[in-house]
Structure 1
Amino acid sequence: MFDTLKKIDSWLLPRNLNEQFSPYVWLIYLPLFFVPVVVFYEDPMDLVWTFSASIAFLSLYFHAYWAKRQDIIYHIGAILVIATLAAFVTATACTLFIYAGAFCSRLNPLKYAVTVLIGLLLWIITISWLFEFEAYFYMPALTFSLIVGILNIYQCALYENKQALILSREETQRLAKVAERERIARDLHDLIGHTFSVITLKADLAGRLLDKGQDKDLAKARIEIKQLEDISRDALSQVREVVSGYRSSDLLSELANAKNVFSSLDIDFHYQFENIDEQQIELESTNNKELAIVLRELVTNVIKHAKATQVTVTIKHSNGKITLAMQDNGQGFENSQHQGFGIKGIEERIQKLQGWVSVKSGGDYSGTLSEISLPLIKSNATKASSI
């Protein structure tokens, strides 16, 4: 049965809709069109015309979701024709005009959609005046077509703006990655380009000295080879320092990264500082890096397990310690799952630095509260400036 319904659904609607079941939900208003006719009909032909109009409307309704934007205007026009003809049978044909107004939101650009909606309202006024339709036809048709049409156009405009912002952010991130690659390439070139040139020259010189085979030349060759070894070791050390610098992270950077990641997942994220200035988090580098790694792990846990919609991080300074607290409103977890979320690794890492970890979930806590505390150690540069 489920497979049959799934096949029918795939036949009626495309798979790329933002809300796959919304088109079915909006059809709950369609019975307002034909049910009154079924209950109060006087002529059997009214039933025939009403059900024929309903079938024709449903065909256009589902086909509109497959159509291109520039073709939606034809579907709106066809629905208007069906609604106008149905208005001679029943005043509840106003329902079909409302559907036509709703489809105006799929027109592009925005001015065109509003223009077509206004044209639809003028059409209702015109036929109501020409054929002297009653107020209980044209008043609901005008009122709800206008309200539904404007709301749908507004929602579609918001969605398109959101998609444009997402695309712009992705392009910015790609450009940032390209810029970072270029920076790394420049740094490595500046670092090892000259070094390898010197190594090449000295290796060539050592080779020529060895070819001569004289004792004094062999002694000079040994000196050159020893210098080659020193230069290569120094270059290796510099490369390691540079690569380590690229790999290192800090707390502020991880907070910014968490905000970006949560934003892409539509999770509301806020962070705040208490008794410590954002621009003056003077942690000893090891502790700063450890808190950044812990924050990254906590963010990963929220994304994978919490199913949260809101996350708050507080960094506060108290009694010579810095405490990072993350609170989410997710589903939480049982104590038996505690070790499965990487918490044990965090505890081991923090305990080595004389800190402590507290994770509370369930009971009085909505979601999960994770707290990590470390001694606040000022850097040597800060200590020197304070003397």
Structure 2
Amino acid sequence: MSLLLKIHYFLLPQDEDIGYAVYSNLLFLSLFFGNLYFRPVHGFDMVIIIAGLMTFLVLYFRAFAAHKNDLIYYIAAMCFIGVALSEINIGANIFFIYAAAFSGEIYNKRKAFITLLLVLAFIIFYSVITDKSSYFWLPAIFMSITLGLLNINRTEVLKKNKALKQSQQETKHLAKIAERERISRDLHDLLGHSLSVITLKSELAGKMIDKGLPSEKIKIEIKAMEELSRKTLAQVRDAVKGYNIATIKGELLQVRVATEAAKIELIENIELESLPTGIESELALIIREAITNVIRHAETEKVWIVLKQVATHLTLTISDQGQITAIKEQSGMQNMRTRINKMGGEMNVASVPNTQLKFTLPITAKSQNNKVISTLHTVANG
């Protein structure tokens, strides 16, 4: 780090809103030195001027690091430096201008305007009681108004930019959280379903071996597990990348394999030909999670899946012959509820006389006109 940069960080706080313009602003002191050149002073007066300048520079740089509510004290101190040095050099009116400029740094706009008005009133009051010429108070008032208003406007712009930046950062943070939750839900649904099927098929293969069934049949089950494992791996990769677009047709094919392995009869009734892409993908994943829960927890011989549109609402009903005994919803139920709520729908659970999950989703004209992917034609079996 260069020496100048070290000095910069020593004098000023490391704030991205504070640039090198703070040094160029000190060029206004040339007005003071110009008057000092044409009207030189000596002796004790020079000591006062040097002390006043040193004090001002300390106040100037410390004001940028000061708490916004404490700026009023720095502004008052600059005004008193102006009073002390104006009795020696008329160019000291520049210190009143610096005080007015710093009033714009106060973050509360109302307080900034009041402070600026107080500085202007002090300039007028001081000029009147000391009978200062117009060469003193006229430029002081004009430049104080100009720089004060410019800084107030600049501070307001900075506040809005900071608010916008903070909002963008919060949005990014929320997007990251949403993405993590999406990946978590997708992985839960993918792995939960696939591992359940692999477990069932593994148990089936083990039973076939115990019974001494032909090896060809056992190889078929093992081959099915291998294919499912490869497909699951590809789906996991797609889910992490954000490309996991499930279809109801594809899910029903997998669900059929899983229920057959679990010796559960699947009865489907799909009365829709097409759905918007996003809606179909979410409903397909809901079907996957629901059937996974049925295979894992429900003591049932049959499971029904009904998907149809009634007026402006889409309803998906998944029911079985078992009963829900747990009061608290586990992650699977929570994931399904999150998915349907995200689309503006709702999930209702009934456990009497048997378990029924009903998902209701309003379908607007806008969503119906979105890009669609094919589902299934009306299917009714059982």
Instruction: Tell me the TM-score normalized by structure 1.
Output: 0.56
User: Higher helix share goes to which structure?
Assistant: 1
Structure 1 residue identity aligned to 2:124: I
* Structure 1 residue 136 displacement after superposition: 1.5
Secondary structure of 1:65's partner?
Answer: helix
Distance 1:231 1:44, change over 3 A: closer
Whether 1:12 and 2:50 are equivalent positions in the alignment is no
Q: Could you tell me how far apart the structure 2 residues matched to 1:13 and 1:223 are? A: 74
3-state SS of paired residue (1:30) = helix
Alpha carbons of structure 1 residues 47 and 17: separation in structure 2 relative to 1, 3 Å: farther
- State the superposition RMSD in angstroms: 3.1
Over 3 Å counting, the alpha-carbon distance change for 1:53 and 1:196 in structure 2 is same
Q: Higher relative contact order by CA 8 Å / sep ≥ 6: 1 or 2?
A: 2
Q: Distance in 2 between matches of 1:72 and 1:46?
A: 29
Counterpart mapping for 1:88-107 below 5 A: 88-107=87-106
Q: CA deviation at 1:175?
A: 1.2
Instruction: Give the greater-gyration-radius structure (CA).
Output: 2
Checking the alignment, whether the CA contact within 8 Å between 1:57 and 1:79 is kept in structure 2 is: yes
The one-letter code matched in structure 2 to 1:235 is T
Q: Identify unmatched segments of 5+ residues in structure 1.
A: 249-380, 382-387
Residue 165 of structure 1 corresponds to 164
Query: Which residue of structure 2 aligns with residue 61 of structure 1?
Result: 60
Aligned pairs, how many?
247
Q: Which residue type is aligned with residue 204 of structure 1? A: E
Task: Give the structure 1 partner of residue 20 of structure 2.
Answer: 21
The residue correspondences of 1:63-212 to structure 2 (distance < 5 A) are: 63-210=62-209, 212=210
Tell me the distance in 2 between the aligned counterparts of 1:183 and 1:143. 60
**1:20-58 superposed Cα distances (whole Å, 9 cap, x missing partner):** 432221111113114313422477554343333222212
Contact between 2:31 and 2:91, CA under 8 Å: does it hold in 1? yes
The one-character-per-residue Cα deviations of 1:101-144 (angstroms, maximum 9, x if unpaired) are 11112223221112111111111111222222222211111111
Could you tell me the percent identity over the aligned residues?
39
Rounded Cα–Cα distance in structure 2 between residues aligned with 1:175 and 1:4: 41
Q: Is this contact kept in 2: 1:101–1:117, CA < 8 A?
A: yes
CA offsets 1:189-234 (integer angstroms, 9 cap, x no match): 3334222111112212322343x3x433866544433432343344
**Change in 2 beyond 3 A, CA 1:125/1:244:** closer
* Alignment CA distance shift 1:194-1:243 (3 Å): same
Preserved CA contact (<8 Å) 1:34 1:50: no
Per-residue deviation at 1:185?
A: 2.9
Decide whether the 8 Å contact of 2:78 with 2:95 is kept in 1.
yes
1:227 pairs with 2:221: no
Alignment partners' CA distance in 1, 2:115 and 2:61:
20
Matches within 5 A, 1:284-363: none
Distance 2:117 2:31 in 1: 24
SS at match of 1:80: helix
Q: 1:216 aligns with which of 189, 202, 213?
A: 213
Structure 2: gaps (5+ residues): 246-372, 374-382
2:43 matches 1:37:
no
**SS at structure 1 position matched to 2:213:** helix
Structure 1 runs (4+) deviating above 6 angstroms are none
The TM-score with structure 2 as length reference comes to 0.57
CA distance in 2 between partners of 1:125 and 1:116 (Å): 14
From the superposition, tell whether residues 191 and 102 of structure 1 become closer, same or farther in structure 2 (CA, over 3 Å): same
Which amino acid is the alignment partner of residue 65 of structure 1?
A: F
Amino acid at match of 2:224: Q
Amino acid at match of 1:157: E
2:9 & 2:228 partners in 1: Cα distance?
Answer: 67
In 1, Cα distance between equivalents of 2:42 and 2:231: 99
Alpha carbons of 1:8 and 1:235: their partners in 2 closer, same or farther (altered >3 Å)? closer
Q: Name the CA shift for 1:241/1:26 in 2 (closer, same or farther; >3 Å).
A: closer
- Is the contact between residue 100 and residue 148 of structure 2 (CA under 8 Å) also seen in structure 1? yes
SS in 1 for 2:131: coil
Structure-2 separation of matches of 1:188 and 1:7: 50
**TM-superposition CA deviations, 1:306-341 (whole Å, max 9, x none):** xxxxxxxxxxxxxxxxxxxxxxxxxxxxxxxxxxxx
Distance 1:227 1:167, change over 3 A: same
Q: Which residue of 2 aligns with 1:288?
A: none
Contact map agreement 2:35 2:90 (CA 8 A) in 1: no
Q: Distance in 1 between matches of 2:87 and 2:173?
A: 59
Shift in Å, 1:149 = 0.8
